[in-house]
Amino acid sequence: MADRGISTQANGRAGRRQLLARWCHRTGMLPLLRRLRGVSRHDLRVLAYHRVLESTEPHGFSFDTELISASADAFREQMAHLRRHFSPMRFGEVLERIERGRTLPKDAVLVTFDDGYDDNYRVAFPILRELDMSAMFFVSTGHIDSGRPYAYDWLVHMICSTRADRLRAPELGLDRALGATLAERRAQAAELLDRLKGLRDERQAALIARLEVEWNMPRRQGHPDCRPMTWEQLREMHRDGMEVGSHGVHHRMLAKLPRERMVAEVKESKATLERELGAPVDVLSYPVGGPDAFDHATVEAVRAAGFRMACSYVSGAGIVAPRTLYALPRLPVERQMDRAWFEAMVAMPEVFGYASRLRTG
């Protein structure tokens, strides 16, 4: 699940980026910019998706719309663009080239998904298969086991759906009236999520659990709009050429856990995936993934568990080298991106990609 700090900052500057991207697209500048960039930079673009739905504005949707990366039509268009103009790769191929001391092909790109929503199977997977593309799906094994929604998702759903008229979160010094419209409540949920992620894990969990009880909205009841994939779906995708990686067990911010629990999240997720898939699992994506979601101790635990690479949610394209193998930046793809903006971002990530920030709340 994304570090919402990226989305919050990006939305304020989206208009200027879109206008510049549209101008570059309309004037035919993007291919030239991509070629010029390729002369001096030979880095790896790793695209980060969460959800792909038929629409980016589903009617009555009470979950986080900022986790809808693209509509089905837009995703198909994006993947077709990568096929035509870039060099799509698999993580396994990247790791093999690194081990053999070989350089990556020009304009190398990887496609990734975080969390493991069932729409990854229902909507994204058929499109990838249709276009003969592969992607890496980072999944939280505990949610595949239980079928329950992710805690952050459920918090947004509760705020958007509760009949209560006030949000009281003394842990964060909040006591305010809840908005009258769905849009207002989504904005309040976004602010709460960003501030919540500044707390230690046990305080995050306690706040969400308390609201489940106070508002009588237990997460165990689930919801059809926010379900994880099943193991059978994941095994089918893996058999058909998709890669699968770890996103922890319970989607916890690893750097905010006590060390013992952090290590267990890392090791147990790997063991479970390898048992269920019958294949090695070499890559992990840090849940939330911002600069405060992983640290030196986390990286060492991931390395010690046998992972060979790890992805952050820090925005950017990076050189694949020993010092970056366990903190690869990625390029978030979000629903505000039209065709011009997406094509501009993959052509010139440092100009059109989102900028990350450190959470301060």
Q: What residue ranges do the domains of the chain occupy?
A: 4-148+228-352, 151-221
Cα dihedral across residues 227, 305, 326, 281: positive or negative: negative
For 251-296, the pLDDT digits (tens) are 999 999 999 999 999 999 999 999 999 999 999 999 999 999 999 9
Residue 5 pLDDT: 42
pLDDT band of 11, cuts 50, 70, 90: very low
> Which residues make Cβ contacts (< 8 Å) with residue 104, sequence separation at least 6?
42, 44, 87, 89, 94, 97, 320
Neighbours of 193 (CB within 10 A): 23
Q: Which of 12-16, 64-68, 87-91 has the lowest mean pLDDT?
A: 12-16
Q: What angle, rounded to 10 degrees, do the helices at 182-196 and 201-214 form?
A: 150
**What does the alpha-carbon distance between residue 209 and residue 259 come to, in Å, rounded to a whole number?**
22
Q: What is the pLDDT of residue 2?
A: 64
- Considering the chain, what percentage of its residues have pLDDT values greater than 70? 94
User: How many Cα atoms within 13 Å fall on the side-chain side of residue 264?
Assistant: 8
Please give the angle made by the CA atoms of 337, 339 and 340, to the nearest 5 degrees.
90
Closest CA to 159 of 138, 135, 129, 179: 179
Mode of pairing for the β-strands spanning 174-177 and 166-169: antiparallel
Q: Could you give the dihedral angle defined by the CA atoms of residues 118, 123, 127 and 133, in that order, rounded to the nearest 10 degrees?
A: -20
Average pLDDT over residues 77-85: 97
Tokens representing 344 are 């501009």
Query: Could you give the count of Cα atoms lying within 13 Å of 263 in the half-sphere of its Cβ?
Result: 8
Residues 6+ apart with CB under 8 A from 151: 204, 205, 208, 219, 250, 251
Q: What's the predicted TM-score (pTM) here?
A: 0.93
| Amino acid at the residue 254 | L
Are 53 and 75 within 8 A, CB to CB? no
Q: What CA–CA distance (Å, rounded) separates 247 from 67?
A: 16
Mean pLDDT over the full length of the chain: 92
Confidence band of 14 (pLDDT split at 50, 70, 90): low
Report residue 95 as tokens.
Answer: 């790791």
Distance CA 138, CA 265 (A): 14
State the pLDDT at residue 341. Answer: 94
Mean pLDDT value across residues 24-48: 84
Q: So what's the pLDDT on residue 358?
A: 57
Q: Report how far residue 14's alpha carbon sits from residue 18's, in angstroms, rounded to the nearest whole number.
A: 6
Output the pLDDT for position 357.
59
Please measure the distance between the N-terminal and C-terminal CA atoms of the chain and give it in whole angstroms. 19
Q: In the prediction, which pLDDT does 360 show? A: 46
Contacts of 204 (CB under 8 A, 6+ apart): 151, 196, 197, 253, 256
Domain 4-148+228-352 CATH assignment equals 3.40.710.10: no
Q: What is the dihedral of CA 102, 105, 109, 111, to 10 degrees?
A: -60
**Residue bearing the bigger pLDDT, 164 or 357:** 164
The pair of three-digit structure tokens given for residue 32, joined into one six-digit string: 């030239």
pLDDT, tens digit, 9 for 90 and up, residues 168-204: 999 999 999 999 999 999 999 999 999 999 999 999 9
242-257 per-position pLDDT tens digit: 999 999 999 999 999 9
**How many Å apart are CA 38 and CA 81, to the nearest integer?**
17
Are 228 and 143 in contact, with CB atoms under 8 Å apart? yes
